[in-house]
Structure formats: C-alpha cells, structure tokens
C-alpha cells in the first residue's frame, strides 16, 4: 500500500526514468497469475475487497491527489 505522498514519489521516479506506468484493476476473481507475475510492481488500494467501479474511482482519486502533490497544489490537504 502507498500513501498519497509515496505515490507521488513513485510517479516522479518513473517519470525521471522515462518509464511508462500502467494500472490494471482486477475483476471479481482478481487477475490471472500470469498477469500478476509479469508486473514490475503491485499496488494495493486497500485490504478490503472493493467493487470494480469503486476501485477505478479510488485509483483515479489517488492519481489526481498525487498529481496535485507533484505540482505543489494544496488540494491534497
């Protein structure tokens, strides 16, 4: 699990390395093991099980919050 500031640092690091970042959200049964094994990094949103649509909203909010931190904007407070 990453906090907002940790996610911002993670994204900064990948941007500096010119590495592409993709997010994959599993369905009700999770992701196939081959997909999990091919990932460079795994990010858990929560220990809770979230509906797919809610997981997408939480991911979007987390990315928006991290982008405001990176831009030095006050939204994340």
pLDDT tens, position by position, for the chain (77 residues)? 899 999 999 999 988 888 888 899 988 888 899 999 999 888 888 888 889 899 999 999 999 999 999 999 987 66
**In this predicted structure, what is the pLDDT of residue 29?**
84
Would you kindly state where each structural domain of the chain is located, as residue ranges? Answer: 4-76
* C-alpha distance from residue 61 to each of 10, 24, 32, 35, 67 (Å): 16, 15, 25, 24, 10
**In this predicted structure, what is the pLDDT of residue 64?**
95
**In this predicted structure, what is the pLDDT of residue 39?**
92
Rounded distance between C-alpha atoms, residue 75 and residue 55, angstroms? 21
Rounded distance between C-alpha atoms, residue 44 and residue 25, angstroms? 10
> Whose CA is closest to 11, among 77, 57, 59?
59
Rounded distance between C-alpha atoms, residue 3 and residue 11, angstroms? 12
At the top level of CATH, the class of 4-76 is alpha beta
**In this predicted structure, what is the pLDDT of residue 76?**
61
């Amino acid at each position: 699990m990453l906090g907002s500031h940790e996610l911002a640092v993670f994204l900064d690091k990948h941007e500096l390395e010119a590495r592409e970042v993709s997010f994959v959200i599993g369905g009700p049964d999770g992701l196939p093991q081959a997909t999990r094994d091919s990932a460079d990094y795994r990010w858990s949103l929560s220990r809770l099980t979230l509906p797919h649509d809610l997981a997408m909203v939480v991911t979007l909010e987390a990315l928006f919050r991290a982008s405001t931190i990176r831009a030095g904007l006050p939204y994340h407070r």
